[in-house]
């Protein structure tokens, strides 16, 4: 069996499960944020800080950021493999875009936890 270093999971089925699970987490977070904005009549800085001062919101946001990274990593690999045929261009794009996704995760961790 050929293993591919570009995939995040061990196989296509594993990648499929990871991308679907990450999509569920991203959907749950989007619904949570929409409910927050609908239920909060005046979103002020104090309300925003109050929301994100709760540990469970920080953890939920961190899980969402990790899910976004997983979703982007697998999705980028699939799209670039299908549509970008020159190997050097595909590898360069994968590298740049995956570094950007990792930067988003690190920035999110720093903003959330003040590391």
The tokens 């920080």 sit on which residue?
Answer: 58
Q: Is 14 annotated as a binding residue?
A: no
Question: Nearest CA to 47 among 32, 36, 58?
Answer: 36
43, 51 Cβ separation under 8 angstroms = no
Q: Is 29 annotated as a binding residue?
A: no
- Give how far the C-alpha of residue 49 lies from the chain's centroid of Cα atoms, to the nearest Å: 22
Tokens of 109: 């961790």
- The binding site for heme comprises 71
- The binding site comprises 71, 83
- The binding site for a ubiquinone comprises 83
């Amino acid at each position: 069996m050929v293993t591919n270093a570009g995939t995040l999971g061990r196989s296509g089925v594993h990648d499929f499960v990871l991308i679907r699970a990450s999509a569920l987490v991203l959907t749950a977070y989007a619904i949570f944020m929409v409910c927050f904005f609908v239920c909060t009549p005046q979103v002020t800085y104090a309300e925003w800080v109050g929301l994100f001062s709760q540990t469970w919101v920080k953890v939920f946001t961190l899980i969402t950021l990790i899910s976004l990274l997983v979703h982007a990593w697998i999705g980028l690999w699939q799209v670039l493999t299908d549509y970008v045929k020159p190997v050097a261009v595909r590898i360069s794009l994968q590298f740049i875009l995956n570094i950007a996704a990792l930067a988003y995760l690190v920035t999110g961790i720093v903003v959330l936890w003040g590391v």
